[in-house]
Amino acid sequence: MLFFYADDLGYGDLACNGSKLARTPRLDALAREGIRFAQFYVSHCVCSPTRASGITGQFPGRHRIYGHLAFFQSNQKRKMPNWLDVGAPSIPRAIQKAGYRTAMIGKWHLGGGSGRTFQIEDLQEPDPNRKPKPRRVVINHPDAPPVADYGFDHVRTTFGNSPTWKRAEPWPEPHDIYPCASREWSTWSSRAIADETIGFLKGHVKSHGDRPFYANVWFKDVHVILRPTEEMREPFRHLSERQRIHYAMVRYMDAQIGRVLDALDELGLRENTLVLFSSDNGAGKGRGGSNGPLRGWKHSLYEGGIRVPFLVRWPGQTPAGLVDERSVLNICDFVPTFARLTGARMPKGYESDGEDIVGALRGDSFGRSKPQFWHYPTTSPSLAVRVGDWKLLSNPDGRLAELYNLAEDVGETTNLADVHADKVESMKELLLNWYGELPIAQTSAQSSPSHK
């Protein structure tokens, strides 16, 4: 299994998802060779929480991860840990115990080592009219659990306590250069991650060919800061500057994914490898990307923040060229699904917030039985739930209510709360009961964000 994860790639950032601006021939081909799902959700509208769900199969609030893992002071203020508990349920660990060789390559962002500090001035473009005021800020701690301890045999990451890269070249241990402060990393990260993945695949075939593998390949692109070369920008010269930058890097990441897919072919791995592609959240506002017809952006619980592209190729299993517009899927579904496919066993007493979607990956109809929940305390609405085609957004005090029928209104343009008061009350009760069980609700008297 090979799971490609983009960063800040919006629902409308792939040509196969309707973009007229993006050039993504390799991902478009992947969609033609398998299934493109139109209703795939991540568990949050920013990065660290959705990554936690990809490891645990649980909504991130269970683990007190309500936002991105950042400065220690910021984590503490938000009552968050500094890293995902190494004792948390882990599908990579379960798959490893089932006999698979496992790899974590790319952006971890669940706590730890690489880029332990950064110099604020490094993150800015030089300004000849302003005298620099360098300031170093601690962001990652060397005492974080090694990424390998979550269940990985082969590890090279950023934002993690592991071997990493320095200026886009492999480096054996964590260091102090924050990834976003490196001009080279802001240009060549996708190439570096693809190189490492190809090396892992070649080494696997050479030395471990009798074992199956599972690899997370999590890209930094297209999260800012992005520094495409002029050659990368050239095909997009007709666009705005921010769009040129964004889509240049989307195209470059697409090409690097293509290199990995070519390696699968060359190594004879294609026919027996399940390939998945998605993004950790929607595109950011004002950064050049697109969430297509969806309302909202990254940092929002409207569809644009949480509904993302999802492509699956599984030779001999997925029907080629299928577009599934009805199945409602979630990143939490990966854990029970991967466990079934690999024979992995999660810890005793484990409860997933996801569902087994093996049938959906094979092109069968899928009807979701579990509600989906979201919580992001620093925005408003800060809570959301989807049941069937209906989605309710609210705040912990329950005074705000926005109700949408997503089957008829994917853009969330018409609030039906006044028309369906009974549905609002039943869904609000479900949502607030779920919220009340979260650690943040039990340990703090959090006030609702302003929603003026």
Give CATH 3.40.720.10 domain extents, the chain. 2-361
Domain 2-361 annotated CATH 3.40.720.10: yes
- Compute the distance between CA of residue 364 and CA of residue 221 in angstroms, rounded to an integer: 32
3-state SS of 161-192? ECCEEECCEEECCCCCCCHHHCHHHHHHHHHH
Query: Which residues on neighbouring strands pair with residue 123, listed in sequence order?
Result: none
Q: What is the DSSP string of 52-95?
A: HHHHHSS-GGGGT--S----HHHHHHTT--SS--TTS--HHHHH
For residue 160, pLDDT beyond 60: yes
Are the beta carbons of 310 and 9 closer than 8 angstroms?
no
- Report the 10 Å Cβ neighbour count for 167: 13
> In this predicted model, which residue has the larger pLDDT, 171 or 117?
171
- Compute the distance between CA of residue 426 and CA of residue 106 in angstroms, rounded to an integer: 42
- Compute the distance between CA of residue 368 and CA of residue 264 in angstroms, rounded to an integer: 33
pLDDT band at 14; cut points 50, 70, 90: very high
Find all residues with CB under 8 Å of 45, minimum gap 6, and list them.
281, 282, 298, 299, 300, 301, 305, 306, 374, 376, 379
pLDDT band at 440; cut points 50, 70, 90: confident
250: its two tokens: 């989307």
Query: Which residues on neighbouring strands pair with residue 390, listed in sequence order?
Result: 387, 405
Q: What are the pLDDT digits (tens) for 207-250? A: 999 999 999 999 999 999 999 999 999 999 999 999 999 999 99
What is the end-to-end Cα distance of the chain in Å, rounded?
46
Q: What are the pLDDT digits (tens) for 366-378? A: 999 999 999 999 9
**pTM for this predicted structure:** 0.94
Q: What is the pLDDT of residue 441?
A: 73
Give CATH 3.30.1120.10 domain extents, the chain. 372-443
Find all residues with CB under 8 Å of 344, minimum gap 6, and list them.
91, 94, 95, 97, 98, 100, 338
For residue 119, pLDDT beyond 90: no
Cα separations (Å) of 434 from 63, 76, 401, 442? 14, 23, 16, 12
Phi, psi of 341 (to 5 degrees): -70, -30
Using alpha carbons, select from 427, 433, 435 the residue that is nearest to residue 444.
435
pLDDT band at 137; cut points 50, 70, 90: low
Please report how the helices 183-208 and 241-266 are oriented relative to each other, as an axis angle in degrees rounded to 10.
10
Q: 372-443 has which CATH code? A: 3.30.1120.10
Cα separations (Å) of 320 from 11, 64, 259, 325? 21, 40, 21, 15
